[in-house]
Amino acid sequence: MDFSLSPEERQIRDTVRSFIEKEVMPLEPEVLRNEREGRPGLDPEVLRDLRAKGRRSGLWGINTPEEYGGAALGAVMNAIVAMELGRTFVPFRFGGSADNILFAADEEQKRRYLIPTIEGERQSCFAITEPGAGSDARNIRTRAVRDGGDWIINGEKTFITNGNDADFVMVFAVTDPDKGADGGVTCFLVDRAMGWTSEPIATMGEWGPAALVFQDVRVPHENVLGEVGGGFALAMQWIGQGRFMIPARAVGSAERLLQMAIDYAGIRQSMGRPIADYQAIQWMIADSAIEIESAKWLTLHAAWRVQQGKDARHASSIAKIHGALMANEVVDRVLQIHGGMGYTKELPIERWYRELRLLRIYEGTDEIQRRTIARNLLKGHARLGTIGE
């Protein structure tokens, strides 16, 4: 059992880390200033320039197939890159990627949607969540009715990431109520120009989701992604393939935060001694390090299962809930170690505190992950005592 990175993998990680430290982290003060003035963290032009710099450094399409100009490095390296990206709260990610289900597009759809998305010319969003169907994705009510060569879509989606900026959406709608989710839900590629609208949803953090409204939106049949009735399987593929990326990013954030606490504990004096000398502080640092390491390896195991073509759903649920809980525990301890300064807006800890709280809710709440894990064990879909199976 070899846990080491290959020389190539180590070089990629180090290149990514250097890029984040030199090009992205210096933008953190600007992001904080913009956000606290009610503006987007970074101007779109700045983000485009950053992605262009990343491309010139060879950081493009980390997990995109080579035939589309990507590096096809696999899920494990994708997770490692996400850990490095998690070290900063700057809203940045490397370009050259597209949602995994867009690769199910036919050749014409690839020309119109997939390729432009990979090249950064178009922006997509994924819309399944509804006001009455969050964790219960099978309960969606948005309807699509066939009308000759078109479909007419009516309904509302909520908490959609990138929904305010996307120019097209992968929207899931019921096309055959009698068949239920398995066979009765279809995914459509719908341009904003076809008539759907979006409204921002204010949150306690800087994540800016949107509510999407579809009112008699007419979509040509050629915009069905995959097969009619095959939408729910695509949705589960989208969720299952990427769930390990959430704890991956959480690991990077927690490591950065813990290092801030270690550094501060060494210089902050209390009663004539650095607070690092006190057991109360030492235990918070030790507990955080233990939890970060366990989350890291749970996440890499889930990514490894994806890369090996194995069923990764159980492992991803375990990694997701543990990573989310870990990040919230760590940021809380780090704020406590910084005392009153941690609670102020002079430091970015409070910003991270609000951002990381979201991890326990989106892409499957803690409660849903526990339900999934328990069901897998009770029904025999997962077994205890296995290694590498």
Give the pLDDT score at 333: 98
Task: Please name the amino acid found at residue 289.
Answer: A
Distance separating alpha carbons of residues 372 and 381, to the nearest angstrom = 10
Distance separating alpha carbons of residues 349 and 319, to the nearest angstrom = 24
Q: Are residues 265 and 350 in the same domain?
A: yes
Q: Are residues 268 and 327 in the same domain?
A: yes
Domain count, the chain: 3
* 385 CB-contact burial (10 Å; exposed 0-12 / middle 13-18 / buried 19+): exposed
pTM for the whole thing? 0.91
- Supply the CATH number for residue 359's domain: 1.20.140.10
Give the pLDDT score at 238: 76
E strand or H helix that includes residue 45? helix 44-56
* 346 CB-contact burial (10 Å; exposed 0-12 / middle 13-18 / buried 19+): exposed
Instruction: Identify which of 217, 242, 231, 240 has the alpha carbon closest to the alpha carbon of residue 140.
Output: 231
Structural domain for 323, as ranges: 243-378
Q: Are residues 90 and 200 in the same domain?
A: no
Tell me if residue 176 falls in helix, strand or coil: coil
Per run of 10 residues, the mean pLDDT along the chain (length 389 residues) is 88 95 95 88 88 91 90 92 96 90 93 94 93 74 95 96 93 92 92 96 87 97 94 82 89 98 96 96 98 97 92 94 98 98 94 95 91 95 87
Q: Is residue 113 part of a domain?
A: no
Q: Is residue 36 part of a domain?
A: yes
Listed residues 202, 230, 258: the one ending a domain: 230
Give the pLDDT score at 136: 66
Q: Is residue 112 part of a domain?
A: no
Q: Are residues 202 and 260 in the same domain?
A: no
Single out the catalytic residue among 130, 206, 355, 363.
Answer: 363
Listed residues 97, 115, 133: the one ending a domain: 97
Listed residues 207, 230, 253: the one ending a domain: 230
Q: Is residue 52 part of a domain?
A: yes
Q: Is residue 293 part of a domain?
A: yes
Q: Are residues 197 and 248 in the same domain?
A: no
Give the pLDDT score at 42: 86
Question: Is 363 annotated as catalytic?
Answer: yes
Partners of 214 in the β-ladder: 155
pLDDT digits (tens, 9 = 90+) for 233-288: 898 887 766 789 999 999 999 999 999 999 999 999 999 999 999 999 999 999 99
Q: Are residues 288 and 363 in the same domain?
A: yes
CA dihedral 329, 330, 331, 337 (to 10 degrees): 110
Interacting residues of 199 by C-beta distance below 8 A, sequence separation 6+: 164, 210, 211, 213
